[in-house]
Amino acid sequence: MRNTRWLSAAVIFIVMLCMGATSILTASEQLQQIKKGLDDFNYLSDSEFFKGKFVEGYVYEVWGEFAYEEMYNETLGIKRNSRVTSHYYLVPLSGSIDAQTPKFIALEIRTAEGVRNAELLMEQTWNYHDTGEEPDVWNEFLIQGSVSGLDGEIEDLLYDWLTNDGTDGTRADYEDMICPYLISEYAPGAAERGMSFGIVLTLIGLAGIGIMIFIYIRTRQSETVRSSPEPYTAYTPVNGNVPQSGSFGNTTASGTVSSPADGGESARLMEEMSRLKQPTDADEFFSSPVRREEPKAPENPSPEPKKDMDGLDTSGLGIGIADEDK
């Protein structure tokens, strides 16, 4: 269970690190493009658009909203907490209108200000085409955005809206007029926010991985200490120079060990043994005769006191004589 939790935490931190690094790289690329200057999408041909390109330009007319994206929670078929996150409009490219080769492109707007501008300009556009009367001030607005491919559900919704579900023609009737790309509104400062978000994620990921590595190392060290054998005490020979101490006696200044109970006799014997010549190999050891000195008789031997047998009471003693004939 513990290993599973560690693995899950490691995966989370690694994912955060990867997401942060990706956000930093994406934001850096966006900032570089913005710094160099963006092309005006109104005067680009189809071949000059590509996925990931950043563009900007004024929107002069809005011909209609053909789709929107809604986020909501659904419980037993009932929508709750519904909110629209994106609006999709069809706008003409002014450069193509000037060249009398009308071309339109899909525009995704996400900000509330962008939606208000688009809705007002769409109303002015319809009124102008219906009555021919121009407004006093056109609500033209500038937009920056990133280019992506027009495909999937958004593309199907666009052609369904253009053909009025097949009532006003077929898809083929409009394909030459539609640029196969989508411009998604890019909110001002989004690159800077993306950079900050990426840095925060990266730091959290690195910190989490670093903490896990630190805990792992400390845990391994603790396990190594617990599994190591009991420490032992190494004693220096009696003729050594490093003082040692043990539980059986005291160490003198010369490195010899004496016991408090024998008055230093053990220390003297060990000192004499240390001066003996040691054999260099086994053959020398076993071939050398052992010389033993006979014990010396005491200088003034005292005779052992004789025991007086006369004073013994032998009345209760029995003397047995072995019968050799038996």
- Neighbouring C-alpha atoms within 13 Å toward the C-beta of 118: 24
As beta bridge partners, residue 142 has 58
Q: Are 141 and 114 in contact (CB under 8 A)?
A: yes
pLDDT at 324: 46
| CA separation for the pair 196, 23 (Å, rounded) | 9
| CA separation for the pair 256, 243 (Å, rounded) | 8
- Locate tokens 């004073």: which residue? 311
Contacts of residue 175, defined as CB under 8 A and 6 or more positions apart, other chains included, come to none
Q: What percent of the chain has pLDDT over 70?
A: 67
Question: Which residue type occupies 102?
Answer: P
Q: How many CB atoms lie within 10 A of CB 30?
A: 19
pLDDT at 303: 55
Rg, C-alpha atoms of the chain: 52
- Mean pLDDT (the chain, rounded): 77
pLDDT at 4: 80
> What DSSP string runs through 224-265?
HHHHSPPP------TT-SS----SS-EE-TTS-EE-TTTTTH
- Chain CA centroid to CA 50, Å: 36
Provide the whole-model pTM: 0.56
Question: Which residue type occupies 322?
Answer: A
| CA separation for the pair 39, 42 (Å, rounded) | 9
For the chain, residues with pLDDT lower than 70 are: 1-2, 188, 225-267, 269, 271-326
In the structure encoding, which two tokens stand for residue 305, read together? 């006191």
Tell which residue, 104, 123, 115, has the closest CA to residue 141: 115
Task: Give CA torsion, residues 178, 183, 184, 190, to 10 deg.
Answer: 180
Phi and psi, residue 271, nearest 5°: -65, -40
Question: Which residue type occupies 265?
Answer: E
| CA separation for the pair 267, 208 (Å, rounded) | 62
- Locate tokens 């019968």: which residue? 323
pLDDT at 304: 56
Q: How many helices (H) and strands (E) does the chain have?
A: 7, 9
**What ranges make up the beta strands (E) of 12-63?**
39-40, 54-59
By CB atoms closer than 10 A (0-12, 13-18, 19+), residue 249 is middle
| CA separation for the pair 37, 144 (Å, rounded) | 11
Q: Are 243 and 235 in contact (CB under 8 A)?
A: no
